[in-house]
Chains A and B, each alone.
Chain A
Amino acid sequence: MAELNTRNGQVVGSALATRVQTGIRIAGRGGQGVMLAGLLVAQAAIDDGLEVVQTQSYGPEARLGAAKSDVILSHEPIAYPEIGAPDLFLCLSHDAFTAYGHDIAPNTRLIMDARAARGLDVGEAVLVPMVDTARDCGAIIAANIVGLGFLVGMTDVVSERSLRRALAARARPESLESNMRALDAGLALAAERRL
């Protein structure tokens, strides 16, 4: 496990901590919770003492078909609010890869749902069974949280503690338990890969 850094007395991610700015894209089908996932990353990053800008697809496209939420995390004030080529791309659906995959650059780290990646040329993507794992956790709708757990487990882009706090604050009380299970499952999948 990479060593954790601190800033203003709080733990911040280490894997990308040497970078001034990190652009994260979370994309999926409308209804898969990509907006919530973006808000959770943004809220966790604020708790970690980082600057954030969050933008998202809006309107009809966010309700049907592909939708995305982009988050910029930075140690400095953020000038331009769009991410261009994402550093990290968490992709939950086939459609979302088709819609937003063109922004992928050579240095983009793509983390993709294993089932959604079938039949696509996803290069060196890290394939993760997000939807299947969420189903095993008792809430297929929590695939976004599995993915988020994996992303954070792999990259430490925000601290696990802040992410848990953000999830506890945003999730509906009746779904908090299944969401936390999904988060743990995502973190566990990341831990397996890191061994």
Chain B
Amino acid sequence: MQQLIQGNEACALGAVAAGCSFFAGYPITPSSEIMEWMSRLLPPRGGVFIQMEDELSSMGAVIGASWTGAKAMTATSGPGFTLMQEHIGYAAMTETPCVIVDGQRVGPSTGMPTSPAQGDVMQARWGSHGDRAAIALTASSVLDTYTMTIEAFNMSERYRLPVVLLLDATLAHMRENVILPDIPIVNRSRPGSIDDFAPFGSPEFLPLGAGARFTVSGLSHDEAGHQRAAKSDAGERLTRRAIERVAADAERITLTRQEALDDAELVLVAYGITARAARAAVHQLRAEGIPAGLLELQTLWPFPAELVGSVARNARAVVVAELNLGQVVTLVSAVAGTTPVHHLGRMDGALLEPDAIAAAGRTALHDAVQEVGAAR
């Protein structure tokens, strides 16, 4: 049945469909409706909803809930996401499955609470100190928000790590007609036996209270959970293993949408809400006879370097459109070879419009053709 649903509502519905039974958070525009919906949806289903005193405690509660075996999430925006970084690092260190939704607004700091941005891409990967395995997803429609929320839970369960879903203020508040699909659910695997069981370093997860005794700590530790806080390779070994779990499955994790790329001389790279403007720009450019295509990134981390690189190198020019002053463009430039990569960005609270992206595309392609002509 077609329903009229808001982005934030779709996120909450997706979380519940994924099996989420615990939400802890602190309200912040533009993500507050996720919290509001979770407060309505969870208690009748036997789940737990807690409004915490701040974002630090929200993330702490989510990690604690996950260690009871519950699928747990929180939702916030840039300022709160920044406060959560310490505990996101803790979730990575303790291999704790959980989902963090960040409805991006203009920053830095309090910025523009009601205006969309895509400025948290790097924070989603590198916001907490040290190295770690990371997955960050995006969504570009209300339907996408539903399915990517479920994907976020599925990946967090499968790879046993915190997964970030990056939304934005426009998507969070807009409504679209959707038919919610059935999506298969992944549950974290449990060890066959608790004898000789190693609580860390594998996707097998044993919740607290299941009979085994071990320590869950943010200090570097080995597979048994014994702290190895000085001059030990245990921490590196476990971090490498977590990164490897993600890398080995990169093809399955890195989701993209590709439109009209086969013969594209001009490639637009975009993600989230901006991908919709880029799609409209591709339609405009194609109507003018310009061979443009769109690579929409649904997974930002791990970054699909190989795919982006091959698409970019086959093009004459690339334009990366994003609501920031240059984040994903640095990743695209690094793999584009000799193909010129242009950036179109803004952080004034407005969306990038199809006309602006199309104009940047025309110029980029024109310049690339001129340059080849001059070289000859």
Contacts and interface: CB of A to CB of B under 8 A. Distances in A.
Chain B contact-residue range equals 20 to 34
Please report whether the interface of chain B is mostly helix, strand, loop or mixed according to DSSP: mixed
B174 A81 contact: yes
Interface in A86-144: none
A52 interface: yes
Interface stretch (A53-61, A178-186, A187-195): A53-61
Contact of A51 (B113, B177, B273): B177
A79 B113 CA distance: 25
Contact of A81 (B4, B114, B170, B283): B170
A165 B227 CA distance: 64
Given A46-B4, A58-B30, A59-B113, A81 B273 contact: yes
Given A80-B280, A81-B273, A55 B174 contact: yes
Interface in B265-288: 273, 276-277, 279-280, 283
Interface of B: 2-4, 29-30, 113-114, 169-170, 173-177, 273, 276-277, 279-280, 283, 351, 353-354
Interface string A28-66: 000000000001001101100011111110110000000
6 A-B pairs closest in CB distance: A79-B280, A54-B175, A80-B280, A59-B114, A79-B279, A46-B177
Contact of B173 (A46, A50, A56): A56
9 contacts: A46-B2, A50-B177, A51-B176, A55-B174, A80-B279, A81-B170, A81-B174, A81-B276, A81-B351
Contacts of B29: 58-59
Given A53-B174, A55-B173, A82 B4 contact: no
Interface in A63-86: 78-82, 84
Interface centre among A43, A46, A50, A79 (most CB of B within 10 A): A79
A interface secondary structure, majority? mixed
B283 A79 contact: yes
A54 B174 CA distance: 6
Given A79-B279, A84-B353, 6 more contacts: A39-B175, A46-B3, A46-B177, A80-B354, A82-B351, A82-B353
A19 to B, nearest CB: 16
Given A54-B4, A58-B114, A81-B170, A42 B175 contact: yes
B175 A80 contact: no
Among B114, B170, B175, B279, which residue has the most Cβ atoms of chain A within 10 A?
Answer: B175
A113 to B, nearest CB: 25
A85 to B, nearest CB: 12
Contacts of B173: 55-56, 58
Nearest to B273: A81
B176 A52 contact: yes
B277 A80 contact: yes
B44 to A, nearest CB: 22
A17 B231 CA distance: 72
Contacts of A54: 4, 174-176
Contacts of A81: 170, 174, 273, 276, 351
Contacts of A53: 174-176
Contacts of A50: 177
